[in-house]
Chains A and B, each alone.
Chain A
Amino acid sequence: MKYMDEFRDPALAQRLVREIRSLVRAPVRIMEICGGHTAVIFKYGIHKMVPPEIEYIHGPGCPVCVSPREKVDLAIQLAWQDDVIFTTFADMIRVPGSRSSLAREQARGADVRMVYSSLDALEIARRNPHRPVVFFAIGFETTAPTNAMAVLLAREQGLTNFSIVSNHVTVPPAIRAILDAPEVRLDAFIAPGHVSLVTGSRIYRFIAEEYGKPVVISGFEPLDLLQATAMVLRQQREGRATVENQYRRAVSEMGNLKAQAAVDTVFETSDMTWRGLGMIPGSGLKVRPAFAAHDAERRFALQPPAPSRDPKACECGDILRGLKAPWDCRVFGTACTPEKPLGACMVSSEGACAAYYHYGRHWPAAG
């Protein structure tokens, strides 16, 4: 058992497709929250395998996509502070800010370095004790514990030159904001499997209990998404709305308590502005005062950059709320491509536009 190929078995996929066909009754709109799910659906053509009544609506589960432009502006400002080594996940490097990107500033001489893990940033801090090292801490609940641990390790190991700029967002408030918006019509949710590793399945209960929508937590292999789809349809068919866990080999009800404790120690909730969803109270995480020494925004005491609007043609906001699909955007694939992105949804590996572009789905329905 290697946990990958087994969950890509085409014969089992066909069984699931048959099961889905036998369950589907009427058009159903399922929001798959996580950008990682969007990418798998398009990579394997799951949207083409299932009957046309099933519509997958992409949600805001792309932390890069939902970061407002001014966050990149702040990162750029930090990167140009005296002697700073600015470290970031590769995803953020080409995301446009209001005037530039980290990649462009790197080309101009800012010391911007891509890392795979916050541990790499810690190592850079260890090797450069006389230079401030800032880490761009971005992500959902999956990543927050890893960044919290980096701060805890920095404190433990006396890496006083290490700090993070926290750009964390959480899933439940965003889902609530989407459900409360009258324009968006959704029947069910496929919940993010890896956020759930940390949080457990319990955080989605409000979707079923308060809004009456079925929720199924899904893994990231094609069979996982197909089985999750079948489970959603079965709930609908039986008139149920509960939280079910398709990803039982990895996700539990309570989640990873150690990871949750690390987050709780280092971070507290904050108000965060999301592209497309506006300001959502309590939807972000900021560093607690006890860890101020490792909070880059406090250390460098910069004037926060002014909020910046996306280019008018960019429909990323509506795409993240599930109101529009990428091809509804006039500049999709023309003025906005992965090489020259206008918006974050095209440049992030978890963006809906990037998924559509890379897997060739340029036109609706027939594709």
Chain B
Amino acid sequence: MCLAIPARVVTLDGAMATVEVAGVTRTASTHLLDGVRVGDYLLIHAGFALSRLDEAEAQETLRLLEQMGELEVGALG
């Protein structure tokens, strides 16, 4: 029920968007989210976009993880 997937907006037609996840397109409603643009990544739940994914925050999260400790020689990969 809490499943929401990151999907890229391909086209917009009024309140309905065509979004793409791993090569598969489907429609999603943007009734619950303002200012959606083509190219945005949205989190879609039960056919509705609930949130936009922030690329800068995502990059920052990954950057923090990469800075965490140093990989030791021989560590399990």
Q: What is the interface of chain A, defined by CB distance below 8 A to chain B?
A: 1-4, 6-7, 10-12, 14-16, 18-19, 34-36, 61-64, 89, 91, 116-120, 138-140, 142-143, 145-146, 149, 153, 192-195, 197-198, 220, 223, 227, 246, 248-251, 256, 258-259, 262, 349-350
Q: A12-B62, A62-B1, A258-B34 given as contacts; is B47 within 8 A of A142 (CB)? A: no
In the complex, A62→B4 CA distance in Å? 15
Q: Contact partner of A1 among B34, B48, B59, CB < 8 A?
A: B59
A251 cross-chain contacts in B, Cβ below 8 A = 51
Cβ contact within 8 Å between A149 and B59: no
A256 cross-chain contacts in B, Cβ below 8 A = 32-33, 50-51
Q: A1-B59, A16-B68, A36-B2 given as contacts; is B50 within 8 A of A145 (CB)? A: yes
A15 cross-chain contacts in B, Cβ below 8 A = 65-66, 68-69, 71
Pick 10 A–B contacts, CB within 8 A, sort by A: A1-B58, A15-B71, A89-B1, A138-B1, A139-B1, A142-B2, A146-B46, A194-B2, A246-B61, A256-B32
A146 cross-chain contacts in B, Cβ below 8 A = 32, 45-48
Q: A3-B58, A146-B32, A248-B60 given as contacts; is B2 within 8 A of A14 (CB)? A: no
Q: A15-B65, A18-B69, A145-B50 given as contacts; is B57 within 8 A of A249 (CB)? A: yes
Within B29-50, the residues touching A (CB, 8 Å) are: 29, 31-34, 41, 43, 45-48, 50
B32 cross-chain contacts in A, Cβ below 8 A = 145-146, 149, 256, 258-259, 262
Cβ contact within 8 Å between B50 and A3: no
Q: Contact partner of A117 among B4, B46, B55, B75, CB < 8 A?
A: B46
B68 cross-chain contacts in A, Cβ below 8 A = 12, 15-16, 18-19
Q: Contact partner of A198 among B29, B34, B50, CB < 8 A?
A: B50
